[in-house]
C-alpha cells in the first residue's frame, strides 16, 4: 500500500501567533515530513504517523503544549515494536503524552493550565487507527461519501450528539470552544479510539477547529473530491480565512494510492 499526504498550518486572520501543530512521520524510515507533499510513499512495517494539535493556555503555553504533545507522541510511537502498533499500545502512547504535558504544567508556573487537543492516526497494514482527545477532527471519504469519524469533546459536541443542537448551530454556538477534556489538563484522560480498513482511493482529513469551525461538511465534501492534495489543503485554508479565519488553521490530508 502507498500513501500520498500533505500538511499545512496557518495562523488565520485574528490570532497573532499559531498554537496549532502537526506531524507526518514515517515510523519505519524515521523520517519527518515538514509542510510538503509526500507522494506515493510506501507504507513500511511500522506504519506512518499523522497528528494535529490545537494548543490552549495563555502566555504561549498553548504553543508549548501542542509542540510538546507532538514531540512526545513521536517518541512514544518510535519506542514501540517493529510491527504495526496494536490499538492498546496506541492508546497508551496518547496517555503518556497526556501525562507529559500535565507534568510539565505542574513544574513550570508560566505553563500552569496549559493543554492541547490531539487527533492522531497511524496507517499500517492497510488499516488506520485513530486516537482522539478534544475537538480537533478526523474525516473519512470513500466513494463520494464523507463522514466525520471523531466526536467533538466539547459542550457543543455533546449537544449535537444528543440531538439537541444541529452541526450548523454548533458552529455558531459559544459552547463549541468549551472542551470537556483535553491533553494535559488532568492527570488522566479518556482516549477515543476508532479503526478503519482502507482501500485505494480512500481519503482522510485531520484538522483543528480553525478549519471545521469555518468550513461545513458540504464544502469539505466538494474539496476532498479533488485529486491534488496540496492544492486542496491550501484551498481549504484559504476558504477558512475567507469565512472569517478566527482561529489557527491546520490541515493534514492522507490518500491511499
List, for residues 9-33, the tens digit of each pLDDT value: 999 999 889 999 999 999 998 877 8
What residue segments make up the domains of the chain, in order of their start? 2-149+182-256
**Distance (Å) of CA 254 to CA 86, 211, 227, 234:** 21, 16, 11, 14
Task: Grade residue 58 by pLDDT with cuts at 50, 70 and 90.
Answer: low
- CA distances (Å), origin 225, targets 16, 41, 141, 206, 231: 32, 20, 8, 15, 12
Other C-beta atoms within 10 Å of 148: how many?
16
Q: What is the DSSP letter of 98?
A: H
Q: Is 31 helix (H, G, I), strand (E, B) or coil?
A: strand
Comparing CA positions, the residue from 6, 22, 12 lying closest to residue 215 is: 12
Task: Determine what percent of the chain is predicted with pLDDT higher than 90.
Answer: 77
Q: Cα–Cα distances in Å, from 47 out to 44, 128, 129, 146, 195?
A: 5, 9, 11, 24, 14
This prediction has a pTM of: 0.94
pLDDT at 144: 93
- Nearest one of 4, 11, 23 to 206, comparing CA atoms: 23
Helix (H) or strand (E) holding 87: helix 87-107
Could you please report the per-residue DSSP string of 146-171?
EEE-S---BHHHHHHHTTSS-HHHHH
Say what the pLDDT of residue 111 is. Answer: 92
Instruction: Express each pLDDT in 63-105 by its tens digit.
Output: 999 999 999 999 999 998 788 989 999 999 999 999 999 999 9
| pLDDT tens-digit readout, 121-175 | 999 999 999 999 999 999 999 999 999 999 998 887 777 777 777 777 777 777 7
Q: Could you read off the pLDDT of 198-221 as tens digits, one per residue?
A: 999 999 999 999 999 999 999 999
Q: Residue 109 has which C-alpha cell?
A: 508556573
Domain 2-149+182-256 sits in which CATH superfamily?
PPM-type phosphatase domain (3.60.40.10)
Amino acid at each position: 500500500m502507498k500513501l500520498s499526504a500533505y500538511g499545512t498550518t496557518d495562523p488565520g486572520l485574528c490570532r497573532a501567533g499559531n498554537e496549532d501543530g502537526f506531524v507526518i512521520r514515517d515510523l519505519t524510515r524515521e523520517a519527518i515530513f515538514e509542510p510538503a507533499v509526500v507522494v506515493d510513499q510506501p507504507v513500511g512495517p511500522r506504519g506512518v504517523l499523522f497528528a494535529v494539535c490545537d494548543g490552549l493556555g495563555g502566555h504561549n503555553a498553548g504553543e508549548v503544549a501542542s509542540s510538546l504533545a507532538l514531540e512526545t507522541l513521536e517518541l512514544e510511537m518510535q519506542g514501540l515494536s517493529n510491527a504495526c502498533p496494536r490499538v492498546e499500545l496506541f492508546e497508551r502512547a496518547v496517555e503518556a503524552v497526556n501525562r507529559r504535558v500535565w507534568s510539565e504544567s505542574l513544574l513550570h508556573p508560566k505553563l500552569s493550565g496549559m493543554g492541547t487537543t490531539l487527533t492522531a492516526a497511524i496507517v499500517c497494514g492497510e488499516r488506520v487507527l485513530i486516537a482522539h482527545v478534544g475537538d480537533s477532527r478526523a474525516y473519512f471519504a470513500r466513494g463520494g461519501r464523507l463522514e466525520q469519524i471523531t466526536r467533538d469533546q466539547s459542550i457543543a459536541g455533546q449537544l449535537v450528539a444528543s440531538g439537541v443542537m444541529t452541526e450548523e448551530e454548533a458552529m455558531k454556538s459559544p459552547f463549541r470552544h468549551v472542551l470537556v477534556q483535553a491533553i494535559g489538563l488532568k492527570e488522566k484522560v479518556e482516549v477515543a479510539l476508532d479503526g478503519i480498513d482502507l482501500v485505494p482511493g480512500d481519503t482522510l482529513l485531520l484538522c483543528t477547529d480553525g478549519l471545521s469551525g469555518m468550513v461545513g461538511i458540504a464544502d469539505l465534501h466538494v474539496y476532498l473530491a479533488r485529486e491534488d492534495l496540496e492544492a486542496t489543503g491550501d484551498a481549504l485554508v484559504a476558504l477558512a480565512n475567507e469565512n472569517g479565519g478566527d482561529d489557527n488553521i491546520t490541515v493534514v490530508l492522507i490518500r491511499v494510492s
